[in-house]
Chains A and B, each alone.
Chain A
């Protein structure tokens, strides 16, 4: 079982930049990209079918034909994707949308474009750790993608079995 990160962004250069900045995680974490809400659903279905778990969604605020916020709200409402951490990566989100994202989708973080790669990686690491802790998953298979100190607290509790 691998953790999966979904990049929801319709502009190819931005998508590629995000993917490249997160390439350090690629060895341990499945990184998927989708350009619109429908592709996102397909990707999520594939992740599920492969037995992996969607841990983090990085969504742009504006997507063709819909709003990234609406996609996030839908994901939060779905039993299978409810646990996934949600981050809005956006150049411009108006106040209404941001409020909706926080109140209705339980948005976890907000990243402004242009982002700093280091800050983005730190944020992804933190969010993946949150996901692992919240779902009490075995952190060891994902340890290199997590905040080691917090993830190891889970290991410590297991004892020498």
Chain B
């Protein structure tokens, strides 16, 4: 081959290019010779009996650059492991792999193909010279890709990157030409058959084809630019502009004769108009025109296909971005809804708070009057009875009954039974027991003294009434106090708050609901804390309400307080209810989440969400663990209370 010596010259100061030929037995020599012939002046050909020997050679010559490995499958059980073995050498991983085979079918090349390692497959016997030319073409391709700056490459490849050696087929040869040249050549050919074709000069905006109209002409664009637009429900969509190519009306050549695009000139254009039949005549007269047209068409279609693929990729990317955007919007909307619900709930509590404060205030006066009046009655009765002949007895009974500690009905009955045993008269025993007489001797004395009995009964009645009045007004007082704590506007955090006091206030307010469950208090020593007492009241209310909802009558709620360390207090509210389904456990702190018959129960559905907000505002943590029979909410609050920067917030 011409210039082979030149290459050799060039190679002298370069790392040697070595082509490995791996084949067993004596068959290797003709192979090596044929490959060497193809690569004359480009690379040295070295033979090896098997991949292991090849490896040994590579190891011995670290300066070798190997562009090509020829591997004969002869004698190999499976090709994939051998290739993998070769690829263990870094210098070989870049080499192109040529497999020589005598087998009609290969099932042992999956890994090799998958890794893109198979460059070419040559079946024995091959046409004379085929191996040599293939080996050379592979080597050149390697050089062009891996050593573009190597002088040997430059010698083999033209400046535009195309190998100097041209394809031998007409079609592939045409495809090597540029579009303009192809167009000119095709037009020249057509004009040779049809005679000179007039050039049409058309201004920008001229429509060359109309979408949806049958196409029976082909336009060769010699100058200017054409865009292809497609009508969609969303309006005119420009699919091709730079990718239009120089043949317009191409699809008409295919079966589909109706234009898919509207072709519109975007600059002044110069086109040649060819009717379908004219083109047909030209192609029939000169068969060589077909290759030019085909090459031009392929070139144009390839452009368009690439553009279409690109559009598809762009579309997918856009879709993805859109989806992301939609998700973010949904999340934002959800958050907005949560915020709104919480606001509504807060507003409700605020209204409730104002109302409670008002009621508490209004109740205070009558309750104070009641409490005072009760003690006045007591005092006045003392004066009044001082002059009564048996005033001392009456006063004694009255005081005894007024100051009596509450007792259960069982104790009352026991007293009555004892009296019955002493007196033998159930009705009288009942009267005496109601009058608070317990001493059998006193009872017997009264049984003989109807007037005294009547006096004792009356005095005991007054005493009991006074006691009940006191108890009742004290209870109203406590309720009012609880309501006030509950209703206290948020304002600044209050320091020195007794946690247990707040819990008790809440328990009192919820007494009507708590009546049917067993409540256990395990209050440990806890320091006083700084907090928003009203908010904490709401917190306890929500947590207790949730626990109550999960309990059947007779269930148990335990309240445990302690201080895990010097800076924190901990409140645990435990119930032995049915527990929370593990599937929904992660969502219980979300607003609007409620398990009550799938409907949103206003307020309670928000209960845990609000609890979490309150705890977070206090700088604390809230955790919920649940299994059937034991659900525990654990609230940990810092003794120092809410962070100071939070104060201006509300």
Contacts and interface: CB of A to CB of B under 8 A. Distances in A.
Are A and B direct contacts in the complex by CB distance below 8 Å? yes
Interface of A: 10, 12-13, 15-17, 19-20, 23, 26-27, 30-35, 39, 42-43, 46, 50, 62-67, 70, 92
B430 A62 contact: no
B515 A62 contact: yes
Given A26-B431, A31-B430, A67 B516 contact: yes
Contacts of A19: 434
Interface stretch (B165-173, B297-305, B408-416): B408-416
A35 B409 contact: yes
Contact of B554 (A15, A16, A66): A66
B629 interface: no
B516 A16 contact: no
Q: Chain A: interface secondary structure?
A: mixed
Contact of A65 (B471, B472, B553): B553
Interface string B407-432: 11110110000000000001100110
Listed residue (B406, B409, B516) with the most chain A CB atoms within 10 angstroms of its CB: B409
Given A13-B468, A42-B413, A62-B515, 6 more contacts: A26-B427, A27-B427, A39-B410, A65-B518, A66-B553, A70-B553
Contact of B464 (A16, A35, A50): A16
A46 to B, nearest CB: 7
Contacts of A64: 515-516, 518
Contact of A15 (B409, B517, B518): B409
Contact of B471 (A13, A35, A50): A13
Interface in B583-618: none
B408 A35 contact: yes
A65 B554 contact: yes
B448 interface: no
B61 interface: no
5 contacts: A23-B434, A26-B431, A30-B430, A66-B516, A67-B553
B290 interface: no
Interface in B429-466: 430-431, 434, 461, 464
A42 B410 contact: yes
Nearest to A9: B409
Interface residues of B, number: 25
B115 interface: no
A65 B407 CA distance: 18
A32 B410 CA distance: 10
B413 A63 contact: no
Given A19-B434, A30-B426, A13 B413 contact: no
A63 B467 CA distance: 22
Interface of B: 406-410, 412-413, 426-427, 430-431, 434, 461, 464, 467-468, 471-472, 512, 515-518, 553-554
A35 B410 CA distance: 8
A159 B139 CA distance: 137
Contacts of B410: 35, 39, 42
B406 A12 contact: yes
B412 to A, nearest CB: 7
Given A39-B410, A62-B516, A26 B430 contact: yes
B517 A65 contact: yes
Nearest to B469: A13
B412 A33 contact: yes
B458 to A, nearest CB: 12
B112 to A, nearest CB: 77
A13 B427 CA distance: 22
Contacts of B471: 12-13
A-B CB proximity, top 4 nearest: A13-B468, A62-B515, A35-B409, A33-B409
A19 B461 CA distance: 11
B526 to A, nearest CB: 28
B5 to A, nearest CB: 108
A36 to B, nearest CB: 8
B468 A17 contact: yes
B577 to A, nearest CB: 15
Contacts of A27: 427
Nearest to B461: A20
A50 B516 CA distance: 32
B547 to A, nearest CB: 16
B430 A43 contact: no
A34 B409 contact: yes
Contacts of B512: 62, 92
Nearest to A42: B410
A43 B409 CA distance: 9
B413 A65 contact: no
Given A65-B554, A66-B553, A66-B554, A46 B516 contact: no
A140 B517 CA distance: 44
A16 B410 CA distance: 14
A43 B413 contact: yes
Contacts of A35: 408-410
Contact of A63 (B406, B407, B464, B515): B515
Contacts of B461: 20
Contacts of A62: 512, 515-516
A42 B413 CA distance: 10
A39 B414 CA distance: 12
A16 B554 CA distance: 26
A70 B553 CA distance: 10
A62 B554 CA distance: 11
Nearest to A28: B427
Nearest to B417: A46
Nearest to A68: B516
A66 B512 CA distance: 12
Contacts of A10: 515
